[in-house]
Amino acid sequence: MKKQKIKIIFILITLNIIFSMGMTFAYWASSVFGNQDDGSSAIDIGFWGIPIYTAQEFYDFATKTNSVATDLYYLHNDIDFTGFTWTYNASNYNVTFRGTLNGNGKKLSNLTITNNSTSYLYNGIFPRGNGASVYDLTLENVNTITNLSGTSQRSGLLFGNVWGGTNNISNIKVIDSSSQGNSTNGVGGLVGNVQNSTTILNLSQIKATNLRVFNDTSYVGGLVGRIATSGGRVNMTDIDFEGDVYANIVTNTGASYAGGLIGFVRSGAIFSVERAVVEATFQNTLVTASNYLVYSNRYLGGIMGYNASATANVTLNTVYVTGSLYTRIDTTRNDVGTVSGRDATQASLTNVYHAYVAYRSVGGGVNYTATTQTGQMSTLVSASTPPSQAQYDTFYAWLVAGNPFWQQDLNGRPFLDI
């Protein structure tokens, strides 16, 4: 009997040790990989990838020249780039990222990537992407700077250019950051240019606060500069954008093609937006040199600068636009639209609204009542006053029905809580 009791006690002790080790591992995994209740699946042992701890390690990863589709990296901790020099040169300006970066709920901060050469065409954390994925990441005070004497520098905070495969960008927060370029091939907040007929770019759950996007020429968008090729596809889902979008056009008749979310949708390209709140202004608050103008010129759109694709290819569903479509001069004041600044055919709209949008009036004043705008307009909710709580509530109900991460602030304005 005594031996049997000892055996039972030994079994209980063993089970307790195993249970304690399991709890310790679960806590470690939660601390390393984040503990956000985002509906994601459990951690799959063996597929965590390579951890990144330091600014130097991140730089080495982002600029390596031999990326493959099986690359899998994750941020172990927040990385502050203060004092770190990001060397951007002929060896890495056009490298292509093909793998996956799991931001792990961590933050990259105080990073500036400067392109001093007019020969380097792509500026971003990853100059180019092909079948790449980036998710669960915060960018705070991250900036791309371009030599503005050039004419071909595409720019986006994550990718200067995506040029093949399916590229996924999801659960990204951008705070107090900027993207600067000088190419008609596109400058965007996250991606400059989408190239090739087989390229798909999916952006989901993106929250941008004070994101400033500057192009020294035409084709600029709050998130994407342009879809350059017929057949290229950009899908945006659950977008909360607040920032400035600017195209520096100096001639009175020059076209800015500046959009709150995308600058240009080429003929034959496919573009969709599902659930978005867009609060964009089309002015320069980034480059302070006196030779740069204050406002974009013409063809400014709350969503798209220029929609050159067919109605069946461009669909917007549950989108709310506010902010400003104020132009540089009086003669271009009507070349704007709350959906698109210019269009070949109009987009297909479902539950797309605008409210409290500022326009230019003759003499440079501000007018909140649209008159003869030439671009596509959405349905007006409120002209000269912000929407009421009740008006916001209706729109919010549509948003939250599709994604529970939508919330409302004290004034009722919907925001993406990620």
Query: Which range marks the domain in which residue 22 is found?
Result: 1-31
**Is 262 in the same domain as 348?**
yes
Question: Does 194 map to a domain?
Answer: yes
The first and second tokens of residue 206, run together, are 């993106």
**φ, ψ dihedrals at 272, nearest 5°:** -140, 150
**Is 375 in the same domain as 406?**
yes
**Is 158 in the same domain as 10?**
no
Question: Does 43 map to a domain?
Answer: no
Burial class (CB in 10 A: 0-12, 13-18, 19+), 242: buried
DSSP state of 378: -
Q: How far does the chain reach from its first CA to its final CA, in angstroms?
A: 59
Question: Does 355 map to a domain?
Answer: yes
Q: What is the pLDDT of residue 4?
A: 53
* Inter-residue contact 147 to 153 (CB < 8 Å): yes
**Is 158 in the same domain as 13?**
no
What gap in Å lies between CA 107 and CA 136, rounded to an integer? 9
E strands present in 361-413: 366-367, 379-382, 406-408
**Is 155 in the same domain as 22?**
no
Question: Does 400 map to a domain?
Answer: yes
Look at residues 122, 293, 93 and name the one whose alpha carbon lies nearest to residue 193: 122
Question: Does 38 map to a domain?
Answer: no
**Is 201 in the same domain as 112?**
yes
**Is 21 in the same domain as 167?**
no
Residue showing tokens 């200067």? 160
Q: What is the pLDDT along the chain (418 residues), one digit of tens a residue?
A: 444 544 544 444 444 544 444 433 443 444 444 444 443 434 443 467 999 999 999 999 999 999 999 999 999 999 999 999 999 999 999 999 999 999 999 999 999 999 988 889 999 999 999 999 999 999 999 999 988 887 888 999 999 999 999 999 999 999 999 999 999 999 999 999 999 999 999 999 999 999 999 999 999 999 999 999 999 999 999 999 999 999 999 899 999 999 999 999 999 999 999 999 999 999 999 998 877 889 999 999 999 999 999 999 999 999 999 999 999 999 999 999 999 999 999 999 999 999 999 999 999 999 999 889 999 999 999 999 999 999 999 999 999 999 999 999 999 999 999 9
Q: What is the DSSP string of 282-326?
A: -B--S---TTS-SB--S-EESSEEEE-S-GGGEEEEEEEEEEE--
Question: Does 281 map to a domain?
Answer: yes
**Is 7 in the same domain as 147?**
no
**Is 17 in the same domain as 144?**
no
**Is 286 in the same domain as 145?**
yes
Question: Does 41 map to a domain?
Answer: no
Question: Does 197 map to a domain?
Answer: yes
**Is 25 in the same domain as 128?**
no
**Is 22 in the same domain as 160?**
no
Q: What is the largest CA-CA distance in the chain?
A: 101
* Inter-residue contact 185 to 220 (CB < 8 Å): no
Residues ≥6 apart with Cβ < 8 Å to 133: 99, 100, 101, 167, 168, 169, 170
What gap in Å lies between CA 261 and CA 163, rounded to an integer? 19
DSSP state of 329: S
For residue 295, the domain's CATH number is 2.160.20.110
Q: How many domains does the chain have?
A: 2
pTM (2 d.p.): 0.89
**φ, ψ dihedrals at 58, nearest 5°:** -65, -45
